[in-house]
Amino acid sequence: MMSLLDKYPRLAALLLGAAAACGFAPLQLWPLTIAALSLLILLVHRAPTLKAALWRGWMFGMGHFTINNNWFQHAFTFQDAMPAELGYAAPIALALYLAVYPALAAGLAWKMRGTRVDAAYVLAFAAAWIVAEWLRSVMFTGYAWDPIGVIWVPVQPVAALSAWVGTYALSGLTVLLAGSLLLLPRRPAPVATALAGFAALIAAQLFSYRDADGPVAIDTPRVRVVQPNVPQDQRGESDGEMMLTRLSELSGRPGEAPRLILWPEGVIRDYFEDGYPDYVYDADPFWLRWRMAKLLGPRDILLTGGTALQFDKAGTAITATNSVFAIDPRARIAGRYDKAHLVPYGEYLPMPWLLKPLGLARLVPGSMDFAEGPGPRALEVPGFGSIGMQICYEIIFSGEVVDPAHRPRLIFNPSNDAWFGSWGPPQHLAQARMRAIEEGLPVIRATPNGISAVIAADGRLVGTVPHQKAGAIEVAIPEPLPPTLFSRWGNWLAGLTALLLAGAAIAIRRRHR
């Protein structure tokens, strides 16, 4: 391995990035990610120039993001505006941009290097990684998919640290751990002490980790999550009743306990709201809501994904919103949430003046771009209190999923992962679990074909419906935890962690000089 690092550093960086991607779901080989990061830190340190360091960080990013985002190819098979073969180039094209952020971290760390890998350099690398990941989440609307800290989801005591510092800071601490392994042979006592402290922190989290909830009273409010197992190319069949029938069969029957019934994003294509011009309707909206209301008991509520339209004065539909509707037992709309963080190239086409002439189009069918909602909001759902809403992609943005002025009792995350192949759904689920831990709130996911899940406020999976299976989960609504430190301070904590790590690096370097 050392000879490969020396002779072919860019190739080595590319392979290390690909190996690091294997630490995420579905493979979850997180020790491989730690090892790959450790070797990247060494490889960047050996770079003779800043340019070489940037190249090595960029090649690491190319390997990492190409493998990690391989599910992106699958989306191109469900639209006919562009050739499906273009999907094979899409992860690589995306990685060309995303690799800039590991390159940035590598360049910043290289500027702090000494004659050998030392504590100052490792601390600087960890701090730079936090900054780079945060920038990736905000630049050009942000692409926050799979920060390094998400590898710890299978190791819940470590993932629980995100409740204190957030996922981006946990990524930096992961880089710090990887770099510490390089210091162990030369500084065994202090490094072993630091690693022992990290292990003790994990153990403390492990002993405080909650077991599964016990029996609940028969009238305790329940949630029922429905997964109809609808492939992407079978969406929109509600006008022929097939979709409604499939969803209805899985929605169960009313009982003694009030139920919050949750349907996914993207399976009902007809419109719920009254008052639109007649030309837009394929089915009467009241009939549609009445069919849903028939499933509900007197204290039940249905939350479902849907689409709302906006019109100009002439009655022409000009834009749409990706929404969640609350339907009550009297077939009324009890509330609506509009998605705020839209997917570029999915729900809208950036720079259409440039991209349309090149033959590029949105991946979501339809001629209208979607409009943005107002941001994280909670709906007051009758009988169930405040329910936070985050539609699909929105759940991946750490620190941006809850209205801080109106903390909900849980977050509903309807998603359509039928686009995402076999790697995307488990990765999406893992990130939803991180949001639950960070915020101390249950997160409930309903998807057309998986993975639907009820996630407890500490990240545990209370129940799931596997990928590409039809089914439903009905459990007592998990309780929220008290507000976490991260829920109060958000990504200011990531910034503080980066500042402390960078400050320690500067102090150590000055002392040595």
Instruction: Report DSSP letters for 426-450, one per residue.
Output: HHHHHHHHHHHHHHT--EEEE-SSS
Chain mean pLDDT for the chain: 88
List of residues 6+ apart from 383 with CB closer than 8 A: 221, 258, 299, 301
Q: Is 273 helix (H, G, I), strand (E, B) or coil?
A: coil
Tens digits of residue pLDDT in 217-260:
777 899 999 999 986 555 544 444 788 889 999 999 998 899 99
Give residue 349's pLDDT band: very low, low, confident or very high (50, 70, 90): low
Tens digits of residue pLDDT in 358-409:
455 555 555 667 888 988 889 999 999 999 999 999 999 999 999 988 999 9
**Is 472:227 a contact under the CB 8 Å cutoff?**
yes
Domain boundaries, the chain: 2-210+491-512, 222-477
Residue 136 CA to residue 474 CA, distance in Å, equals: 37
Query: ω into residue 451 within 30 of 0, thus cis?
Result: yes
Q: Give yes or no for residue 504 having a pLDDT over 80.
A: yes
Residue 128 token pair: 């730079």
Sheet holding 461-465, edge to edge: 377-381, 385-389, 410-414, 443-446, 452-455, 461-465
Q: Which of 344-348, 475-479, 480-484 has the lowest mean pLDDT?
A: 344-348
Give the number of other Cβ atoms within 10 Å of residue 408's Cβ: 25
Residue 330 CA to residue 334 CA, distance in Å, equals: 10
Residues in the chain: 513
**Is 417:439 a contact under the CB 8 Å cutoff?**
no
- Residue 216, pLDDT score: 63
Residue 412 vs residue 417, higher pLDDT = 412
- H or E stretch covering 311: strand 301-311
Give residue 314's pLDDT band: very low, low, confident or very high (50, 70, 90): confident
Residue 15 CA to residue 164 CA, distance in Å, equals: 33
- Residue 350, pLDDT score: 59
Average pLDDT in the 70-89 region? 68
Q: Give yes or no for residue 209 having a pLDDT over 60.
A: no
Tens digits of residue pLDDT in 422-444:
899 999 999 999 999 999 999 99
**Is 174:162 a contact under the CB 8 Å cutoff?**
no
- Residue 162, pLDDT score: 96
Tell me the fold of 222-477. Answer: Nitrilase/N-carbamoyl-D-aminoacid amidohydrolase (3.60.110)
Average pLDDT in the 185-189 region? 70
List of residues 6+ apart from 345 with CB closer than 8 A: 360, 362, 363
Tens digits of residue pLDDT in 439-465:
999 999 999 998 999 999 999 999 999
Alpha-helix residue ranges (DSSP H) falling in 315-366: 352-355
Residue 347 CA to residue 392 CA, distance in Å, equals: 12
